[in-house]
Amino acid sequence: MIEYIVPSNIDDRVLSRSARMLESGALIALPTDTSWSIVCSIKSPEAIKKLRRLSGERDERHFTLLCSSISQFVDVCSLDNTRFRIINRLSPGPYVFILKTLPGTEKSLDIRRHEVGVRIPDYPVPIKLIKTLEHPLYSITAKRSMSGGDWETFNEEETGTELPSIPEDELFESGWELEDINGVDLILDGGEERERIFSTILDMCSDEIKLLRKGAGQWPV
């Protein structure tokens, strides 16, 4: 189902209905400042499982918590002053920051690593939905390989430190293209084509910041 919206002025009824769907375990596709993402509520264990099966990825670094503010980071991540200043300078924007998790985060998100990716997108659709839901969204990048794919097929876990770039032809431009992805319950479509770009991923778990994937965000800055 597609819900057409005006990104800068989303109807409150659409936001409320979308939030209720997420609370009930739905998966929603939406545009971001990079490409399209598929999201679920971090409060729904069943939805997280569905999202992981749909992704086909074992490496948790492919999953990201979308937040509306840095204050939401501290509920799940360890964040000192140095990292805060860097993240504050680059956010909102096309950056994912890999940070060490706080106790309990791994269990709640069903992850095995003691780290999680977080970011604040520079686009109103996810931000307004997060504020309506009142907690972060768990997300993956929507890819064409998910269309009609087998949910039980997983890729091999990444063995290197870097994550490969996503080929441009794997990304979507328009919302209607995501209708073929099984398991997506709602598409929030602003009616405009999105750039087929992906975020830059920075590993901030050690003293030295490591570039895991070069994307739209410049690094170093």
CATH number for position 109: 3.90.870.10
User: Is residue 220 domain-resident?
Assistant: no
Tell me what pLDDT residue 158 has. 46
User: Is residue 79 domain-resident?
Assistant: yes
The predicted-structure confidence for 9-55, as pLDDT tens digits, reads as follows: 999 999 999 999 999 999 999 999 999 999 999 999 999 999 999 99
User: Is residue 157 domain-resident?
Assistant: yes
Tell me what pLDDT residue 149 has. 55
Tell me what pLDDT residue 173 has. 96
160: confidence class by pLDDT, cuts 50, 70, 90: low
Tell me what pLDDT residue 133 has. 97
Q: How far is Cα 62 from Cα 67, in angstroms, rounded to an integer?
A: 16
User: Is residue 23 domain-resident?
Assistant: yes
User: Is residue 166 domain-resident?
Assistant: yes
159: confidence class by pLDDT, cuts 50, 70, 90: very low
Looking at the predicted structure, is the pLDDT value of residue 170 above 50? yes
User: Is residue 88 domain-resident?
Assistant: yes
User: Is residue 153 domain-resident?
Assistant: yes
How many domains does the chain fold into?
1
Report whether 22 contacts 7 (CB < 8 A): no
Report which of 60, 156, 148 is spatially closest to residue 105, judged by C-alpha positions. Answer: 60
| CA-to-CA separations, 159 to 33, 162, 163, 213, in angstroms, rounded | 29, 9, 9, 14
Which residue intervals of the chain are DSSP H helices? 12-23, 45-55, 81-90, 105-109, 124-133
User: Is residue 218 domain-resident?
Assistant: no
Residues of the domain holding 95: 2-213
